[in-house]
C-alpha cells in the first residue's frame, strides 16, 4: 500500500479546533494561527461558519483577504443562507455537510436522501457559479449505509464538487473499516476525497493514515488534535506518521515550525502540550533506559524513527535516575569535558543507581559525582 501522489492537509484548528472545550480564540489569535499554519505550508485553512456568530463572519473576511498562500475555507451547513454568507465574506472554498446516518437524520433534519440531494444541488450550483471550491461531506459517514454513501457521492460529483468528504464524526471507525470504506468510495468517484477522523476511541491518526492509503487526498487535522470532545488527528501526529513511512512526502513543509505552532496554541488554550504528543512533546526524543541510551549514542536510528533535528528539536539522554547505563554516564562526562575510563564510568553509574534507589536525583548531583570520579 502507498500514499496517493496528491496529498494535502486541511487544517481546521480555526473551525473544529474552536469546538475544543477551552478554546475561544480572539481575532488576533486567529490571525496569528493562520499565519503560522501558512508559514508551515498547509494547503488549506478551514474557519468557522460565518453563520455561527458576527465575529466569526468578520474574522473569515479578514483572514480571506490576508494574502495567505493557503486556500481559505469555511465549514457550512448545506443551506443557501450559509452559502451566501460564505461568498459574501470571501471564502475560497466551502465545506458543506449534511447528516446522513440514521441516528443523526432522525434528530437533525428528518429529510430523505432524495431531499438531501435536492437541497445539495441548489447550494452546490450557487457556489460553483461564484467560483467557490466545494466539498460535500456526509456527516457521520461510518454509521451511514455504504450504498447510501455511494448514491450521494456519485450524485454530488455529477453536480460538480471538487471533492467529497468522509467524516468519522463520532470516532467509531476502525482503521480496517476506514480503509475498506474509503477504498469502496474511491472506486466509485473520480473527484478528490477528504477524510475527517475523530479520536473518541483513540484511532484518529491511524484512521486518517489508512484513509490516505485507501486514496483520500485531503486530510483534516488540527494543532494538538484539538476539537469537539477528544478532537481529531493532530497536525504533528500526521506529519510524524507520514514522515516515518516516506520522509520525502513532508519535505515541502517547514517542519522546524511545528514546536512553535504547538506551543503557541497550547498557551492560547491554557494547557500543556500532552506528554505523548508526536514530535513536539517535552519527552518526544527523551531516552532513559541504559540499553536504549547505549544504542542511541552509537546510532540514533536504533531507537529514533524520526530525526529530531528536522523539527528543530534535540534528543535528551537522561542520566539522573536509577536506570542509567554507563555509556550515558560517559557521554555526560564528555559533555562536561571530563574523560572517564570505562571502569570509572561503570563505577559512577553504579553509584548513581544506588542513590536513585534511595531518592530523586538532579543534574547538579550527577555532575558532582562525575567530577569526583575523574579526580
Which residues form the catalytic set?
Answer: 292
DSSP bridge pairs for 134: 94
- Residue 88 CA: distances (Å) to CA of 29, 32, 61, 202, 352: 23, 23, 8, 38, 67
Closest by CA position to 166, among listed 127, 188, 140: 140
Cβ neighbours of residue 137 under 8 Å, at least 6 residues apart?
Answer: 95, 96, 97, 98, 164, 165, 166, 167, 194, 196
- Residue 345 CA: distances (Å) to CA of 71, 285, 342: 56, 24, 5
Query: Coil, helix or strand for 51?
Result: coil
Closest by CA position to 3, among listed 251, 219, 258, 301: 219
Cβ neighbours of residue 160 under 8 Å, at least 6 residues apart?
Answer: 124, 125, 128, 134
Cβ atoms of 134 and 128 within 8 Å: the answer is yes
The string of DSSP codes covering 339-351 is: ---HHHHHHHHHH
Phi-psi category of residue 12: left, alpha or beta, with phi > 0 → left and psi -120 to 50 → alpha: alpha
Cβ atoms of 7 and 212 within 8 Å: the answer is yes
Grid coordinates in use for 12? 481546521
Closest by CA position to 40, among listed 70, 73, 4: 70
Amino acid at each position: 500500500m502507498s500514499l496517493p501522489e496528491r496529498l494535502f492537509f486541511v487544517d481546521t484548528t480555526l473551525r473544529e479546533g474552536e469546538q475544543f472545550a477551552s478554546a475561544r480564540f480572539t481575532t488576533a489569535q486567529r490571525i496569528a494561527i493562520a499565519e503560522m499554519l501558512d508559514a508551515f505550508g498547509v494547503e488549506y485553512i478551514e474557519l468557522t461558519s460565518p453563520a455561527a456568530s458576527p465575529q466569526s463572519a468578520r474574522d473569515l473576511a479578514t483572514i480571506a483577504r490576508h494574502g495567505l498562500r493557503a486556500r481559505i475555507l469555511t465549514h457550512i451547513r448545506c443551506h443557501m443562507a450559509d452559502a451566501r454568507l460564505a461568498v459574501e465574506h470571501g471564502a475560497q472554498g466551502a465545506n458543506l455537510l449534511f447528516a446522513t446516518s440514521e441516528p443523526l437524520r432522525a434528530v437533525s433534519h428528518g429529510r430523505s436522501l432524495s431531499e438531501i440531494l435536492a437541497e445539495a444541488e441548489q447550494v452546490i450550483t450557487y457556489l460553483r457559479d461564484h467560483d467557490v471550491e466545494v466539498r460535500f461531506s456526509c456527516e457521520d459517514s461510518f454509521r451511514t449505509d455504504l450504498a447510501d454513501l455511494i448514491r450521494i457521492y456519485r450524485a454530488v460529483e455529477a453536480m460538480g464538487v471538487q471533492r467529497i468528504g468522509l467524516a468519522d464524526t463520532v470516532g467509531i471507525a476502525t482503521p480496517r473499516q476506514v480503509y475498506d470504506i474509503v477504498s469502496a468510495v474511491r472506486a466509485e468517484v473520480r473527484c478528490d476525497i477528504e477524510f475527517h477522523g475523530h479520536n473518541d476511541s483513540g484511532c484518529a491518526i491511524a484512521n486518517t493514515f489508512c484513509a490516505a492509503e485507501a486514496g483520500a487526498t485531503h486530510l483534516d487535522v488540527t494543532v494538538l488534535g484539538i476539537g469537539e470532545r477528544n478532537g481529531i488527528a493532530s497536525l504533528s501526529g500526521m506529519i510524524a506518521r507520514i514522515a516515518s513511512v516516506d520522509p520525502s512526502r513532508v519535505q515541502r513543509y517547514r517542519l522546524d515550525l511545528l514546536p512553535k505552532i504547538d506551543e503557541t496554541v497550547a498557551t492560547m488554550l491554557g494547557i500543556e502540550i500532552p506528554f505523548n504528543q508526536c514530535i513536539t512533546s517535552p519527552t518526544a526524543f527523551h531516552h532513559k533506559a541504559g540499553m536504549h541510551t547505549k544504542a542511541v549514542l552509537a546510532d540514533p536510528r536504533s531507537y529514533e524513527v524520526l530525526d529530531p533535528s528536522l523539527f528543530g528539536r534535540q534528543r535528551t539522554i537522561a542520566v539522573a535516575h536509577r536506570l542509567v547505563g554507563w555509556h550515558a554516564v560517559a557521554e555526560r562526562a564528555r559533555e562536561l569535558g571530563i574523560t572517564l575510563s570505562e571502569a570509572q564510568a561503570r563505577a559512577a553509574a553504579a553509584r548513581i543507581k544506588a542513590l536513585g534507589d534511595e531518592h530523586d536525583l538532579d543534574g547538579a548531583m550527577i555532575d558532582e559525582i562525575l567530577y569526583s570520579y575523574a579526580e
